Structure 1
Amino acid sequence: MRQEHQHYHADLQALDDRCLNPSQAADLNSIINRSRRQVLKGGLALAAIGLFGTSLLGCQRSSAPAASPLLGFSGVAAQTAADFDRVLVAEGYRAQPFFSWGDAVLDNAPTWREDASQDWQAQLLQAGDNHDGMHFFPFEQAPNDHGLLVINHEYINPTLHTDGFRYTDLADGRRQRPVDQVRKEQAAHGVSVLEIRRSADGQWQRVAGSRYHRRISAMTPMAISGPLRGDPRMRTASDPTGTRVLGTLNNCSMGVTPWGTYLTCEENFHNYFVNRNAADHATRPTHQRYGIGNGQRSAYYAWESVDERFDATPDDNQPHQGQVNEPHRFGWVVEIDPFDPDSMPIKRTAMGRLSRECAVVSLGEDGRMAIYSGDDARGEYVWKFVPDGRHDPANPANPAASRQLLDSGTLYAARFNEDGSGQWLPLIWGEQGLTPANGFADQQAVLLNARGAADLLGATPMDRPEWVAVHPDSREVYITLTNNRERGERFPLHPANPRPNNQHGQIVRWREANADPAATTFEWDVFLLAGDQPGALDAEGQPLPDNLIGNIRGDIFSSPDGLAFDGAGRLWIQTDSDEEAAHTVNTGCNQLLCADPQSREVRRFLVGPRGAEITGITWTPDYRTLWVNIQHPKLSYPASDGHSRPRSTTLVITHEDGRVIGS
């Protein structure tokens, strides 16, 4: 069971991360080629300093990190043992399992069974699989002791079933799946909403009998809003109006609006669909550019064998050619009101269709907003959406006017220039080649194929853009670029992505002009390059190659992924690396770290169990309680009996004397 799960995650991760970008950003070739030559001649640090100057990059190596007044804990050691199956947290802190796959969400949920024998109806009442982005929404009366915890469930593992995934290979190349397995997998996707409260003894608990408890899944009805509502390209045989869709998929990271709603993001939705007509697939940029399967079966799940929605092969005998448009109905930001359990989630199409990692809001003093996102695949782009209107905080909670801000605005893709400047490139139909001659019939076509539009505009292909975090005071914006082993081959070197075969990733930050979220220009630098320290050795005692050396001031890590600021301006970093790969021999298991943006010191706060990604992060308003997620652990976590079925789990972390986390 555990070996199957381990191989499944590695295969699925490779599929999710594959390159789908046909562009080479030709207008930047002269810059990129010069960068390549400098790296080859003088090493990475010399190339970076030569291109940017020290004032922007600020990433020269130092022999020891400067002591940070922000970081008040002692770092924990990296863990490289093959049987490490627990959580290690900084001294003085306590990390406890709080909410695991299969735990009750609704009051009538049955108790989880260790053999995973429960059916899909039970799963609809319980926590889904693979916890990811999340947020704590406090109640006004007791904001640090009572609130709603909203958690994404990104995808599913074979351990969801007693005997793993079951397939029957058919003679024509298709795969048949059992109906009961597919239904359970659909039920284990989506979002959980929990009302939680801290009891008199300091322990957090789920509130029994709460009207707010809710499970949103791949079966939940959702509204389509914005420019593509009712558009012919959103209509299917099951929804001829193009206004309703069933479910949300691959919910990775998220965002929170100033009016108190939750923005969950649909990431690698392409793995769920197949278009078996190769000739038709070749004519559809929205299938090609987004990686919709082209063969006899979808990549892993084969849901199309049970649920026709996921078979995107055109059928001339069906209205709207059957379900050929169903993939168009995924890849959106979905707005959920956690305080109204009867409300229908809304897919906001004005924000563009991406394999979106997050939707992080930056709010200016004048009410203008930007919502930042990464598109998580090799060579994809950094994005922001700027609503046309302004947020008015004087309005009552959850005003209809505020929600409508997400239905009209401008979507931008980022171009990073060699001198540390940057532009936001607007995706506006009729401008800069976004015309019918280039395959864009209208603005709806631009939003539906935002990736293709950004290709045409010359946005900068990045090394897997993932989570975004905005500094609470300066509004500086940080983004994790997790890794890209094809950098230098499929994608030429670029100053923001300066390493060939980039196995460890980096964090880039930018400053909008005048700190205005709606600005169209910015300045940027590389905050840090992840990886080993200079002089590090591999498992055989040999020096590591230059592309595996970073410039971290403090505790090393690989593949930054999750990212968030706390109220004091500490930058929290979560990782998603393959600890069984040769390049992670020294970084070991995935981690939660904390960085000081000024001194750039990094300290390791927590290490997770073997095989797990550390993801999702949220606090109480006083920052004395922290929640993080342990996703897809390899071994028996959270049990430690050596044989239990591993479970994705939300941890609750506090300090033994009640102090602010990290201080």
Structure 2
Amino acid sequence: MNQDHRRFHAGLKAHDDIRINPGANPPLAELLDPGRRTLLKGGLGLAALGFLGGGLSACGDASGSPLLDFKGVPVQLDPQFDRVLVAEGYTAVPFFSWGDPVEPGAPGWKPDASDDWRAQLKQAGDNHDGMNFFPFADESDRGLLVMNHEYVNPPLHPSGTIDLGKPRDPDEVRKEQAAHGVSVIEVRKDAQGRWQRVMDSPYNRRISMFTPMRLAGPLAGHPQMKTAADPRGLEVLGTLNNCATGVTPWGTFLTCEENWHNYFINRDRADYERRVSHKRYGLAREGASKNYAWETADPRFDATPYPEQPHGGFVNEPHRFGWVVEIDPFDPGSQPVKRTAFGRFSRECAALAMGDDGRMAFYSGDDAKGEYLYKFVPEGRFDAADPRASRDLLDAGTLYVARFDADGSGRWLALVHGQNGLSAESGFASQAEVLLNARAAADYVGATPLDRPEWTAVHPRSREVYISLTNNDERGETDPLDKANPRPKNLHGQILRFNEQDADPTASAFTWEVFLLAGERKGARDSSGQPVPTNLVSTIDGDLFSSPDGLAFDARGRLWIQTDYEDGEPAMRAMGCNQLLCADPRTREVRRFLVGPRGSEITGLAWSPDGRALWVNIQHPAISFPASDGKSRPRSSTVLVTRNDGGAI
């Protein structure tokens, strides 16, 4: 990563993670303050519990065999580390990188990044993120790998830079828009049992900011969705900032639009102040939009109201992002659908839990400091006898937001017009406004602010739900805090877990605890020889890490944890490069399985049906990866991990 690339990426991270929530709801830190409240049902203080070291039932391997059956790898502190290190007995090889051909007619990637936007429409996008594997029916050795492309880095262009201080070149903007979205690629085992891409597959497909998408659910055709380009409010061009994912039991891919607000600007200060749908989500107000200044080349991203234009120009365009988008990977001709019943926020994922009776819940974090955990419960039930008939289940249901109580209990608060004070008098004229301004509705009903709630994962047997709270360096500044609070300036984050009442995904109540607190080891010292502050000390049993982000369970019930921190920052020096770790939910032991190249984030996991192949995404590597020669242009890449003896991961 050159210096321009480093500065650009650091700038994206800085404003992706800012606090926007102006509310005064009690944050989780306050609820965990033993000086003012009791903690869990026994009323024990925080120190006595070792920061919630026990409580809920947890799940391990039913056979009693150890789940962490590999030797952990060490941290990597070398500032020039430019490869992937994986556990002994395993091999990790590059599999699919930015610029690789996807659709027919796509050229191969050019090391000078000189491909134009038309080529990029057919090539792999940038910054690989959440992904899933979809097997073909009755074919365990063949499937579709579907992955998000969250955003772009300056190496997308030959110069390796993006100048936000002047109007953008329209073709550069088009290339960046083409590199957002989703890739669908067919993969299969060859005669030697090795997974390969199928280059001429009719299923291979790129979905980008140029792909028309249908609006469905309560906001379809609503006045707040109409623009000068779409006066009916029924079709959106494209999807962006796609981060984590979900899947449906009927075999479709759910991609989630995260920090979409950074692509828009509203320069009308008075309009911005009174427009909750802009202000509460943090759109830019002056200068340029926060990411790429696309508005200088594409008027859709200028959300300033222009009364002389139909529907005010594009003032409503930001309303058309922040949704769950459903994609059918097995139908290349199908149109993606934005499901507005899920609600609008900076959504990380849509993790599915399904009851024995077919009732479902989808869990999502809202990735910003002080935001919330949500759950969407469809009205109908999944019918396994007729899966395709379930397609419209995502257009009707109830959106909930979580309140975490100090005694270890919790409640799901319905975000429904006419309930919990959500009415015209409180600023919500109808259910459409509640969903459009889900953050403001969550503020109003008293949800619990969290430290950057990101990915959620559901245990495949117990239905326990885990959520990563990545970090919050403003804890103690913007959030209430007194001297008894154990984590001011929460640089390292934590993972929560909770059980729905009676293991029912649609329940209105749950019990919760902190699964682990990330950070450094007790007794550690900083570079000056001083003891590490107590707010940086972890409760991890095993290998240390910071800033948990991606979470996923494998079929054996092991929790896989991916990290996302700026690995050059002083507070992260002991952590080295970002990591993929594995945790036993029963014992809480954590072991480091993989380390990525310098500057990268580890994000997105997918397994083959037999568990013998694991795909992992390496996002925004800094130095030459995947060539790992110390000089080549870095490329976001998917790596394939297999065991050397051919066994399961």
CA apart distance, 1:33 = 5.9
Per the alignment, do residues 542 and 434 of structure 1 end up closer, same or farther by CA in structure 2, a change over 3 Å counting?
A: same
Structure 2 gap ranges (5+): 59-63
Query: What does 1:37-436 align with in structure 2 at a 5 Å threshold?
Result: 47=46, 49=48, 55-56=54-55, 69-143=66-140, 145-167=141-163, 169=165, 175-395=166-386, 397=387, 399=388, 401-436=389-424
With over 3 angstroms needed to count, the CA separation of the structure-2 counterparts of 1:50 and 1:92, relative to structure 1, is closer
Contact kept, 8 Å, 2:456 with 2:465, in 1: the verdict is yes
Amino acid in the other structure paired with 1:469: A
**C-alpha contact (below 8 Å) 2:129/2:619 kept by paired residues:** yes
Residue of structure 1 equivalent to 2:503: 515
State TM-score, norm by structure 1.
Answer: 0.93
Is 1:610 aligned with 2:601? no
Unaligned segments of structure 1, at least 5 residues? 40-44, 60-66, 170-174
Shift of the 26–617 alpha-carbon distance from structure 1 to 2, 3 Å rule, reads closer
Partner of 2:435, secondary structure, is helix
Contact (CA 8 Å) 1:57, 1:526: kept in 2 or not?
no
SS of equivalent residue, structure 2 residue 55: helix
Show CA shifts across 1:465-490 (max 9, x none): 11111001100000000000111221
SS in 2 for 1:287: helix
- Displacement of 1:52: 8.1
- Residue deviations 1:92-146, cap 9 Å, x none? 0000000000001012110111111110001001000000000110112321x21
The separation in 1 between residues aligned to 2:613 and 2:28, in whole angstroms, is 46
Q: What SS does the aligned partner of 1:651 have?
A: strand
The residue number in structure 2 matching 1:172 is none
1:552 corresponding residue in structure 2: 540
8 Å CA contact retained: 1:104, 1:125: yes
Alignment of structure 1 residues 555-570 onto 2, 5 Å: 555-570=543-558
| Mapping of residues 620-631 of structure 1, within 5 Å | 620-631=608-619
* 1:501 paired residue among 489, 511, 515: 489
Please say if residues 236 and 242 of structure 1, whose CA atoms lie closer than 8 Å, have aligned partners that are also in contact: yes
- Classify 1:343/1:192 alpha carbon distance in 2 versus 1 (closer, same or farther; 3 Å): same
Matched residue pairs, number? Answer: 640
Note if contact 1:440-1:446 (Cα within 8 Å) is conserved in structure 2: yes
Q: Could you tell me which residue of structure 1 aligns to residue 61 of structure 2?
A: none
Cα 1:232–1:437 change in 2 (3 A) is same
Q: Is residue 2:18 matched to residue 1:22?
A: no
Distance 1:111 1:428 in 2: 50
SS in 1 for 2:108: coil
CA displacement, residues 612-632 of structure 1 (integer Å, 9 cap, x when unaligned): 000000101111100000000
- Compared CA separation, residues 73 and 282, structure 1 to 2 (3 A): same
Q: Confirm or deny: 8 A CA contact 1:48 1:498 kept in the other structure.
A: no
How far residue 575 of structure 1 moved from its aligned partner, in angstroms, is: 0.3
Cα deviation for residue 32 of structure 1 reads 6.1
Mapped contact 1:328–1:448 kept (Cα < 8 A):
yes
TM-score norm. by structure 2 comes to: 0.95
- Using the TM superposition, give the Cα deviation of residue 503 of structure 1 relative to its aligned residue in structure 2, in angstroms: 0.4
Offset of residue 191 of structure 1: 0.1
CA distance in 1, matches of 2:370, 2:363: 17
- The offset of 1:492, in angstroms, is 2.5
Equivalent position of 2:5 in the other structure: 5
Contact 1:261 1:338 in 2 (8 A): yes
Q: 1:491 aligns with which of 461, 473, 479?
A: 479
Q: Is the 8 A contact 1:619 1:627 kept in 2?
A: yes
Counterpart amino acid of 2:530?
Q
Displacement of 1:553: 0.3
Report matched runs for 1:528-607 at 5 Å.
528-607=516-595
Which one-letter code corresponds to 1:526 in the other structure? Answer: V
Deviations 1:375-401 (A, max 9, x none): 000000001000011111111x4x1x3
Q: Which amino acid aligns with 1:539?
A: S
State the distance in 1 between where 2:47 and 2:256 align.
Answer: 33
CA RMSD of aligned residues (A): 2.2
- Which residue of 2 is the match for residue 474 of structure 1? 462
CA distance in 2, matches of 1:203, 1:434: 55
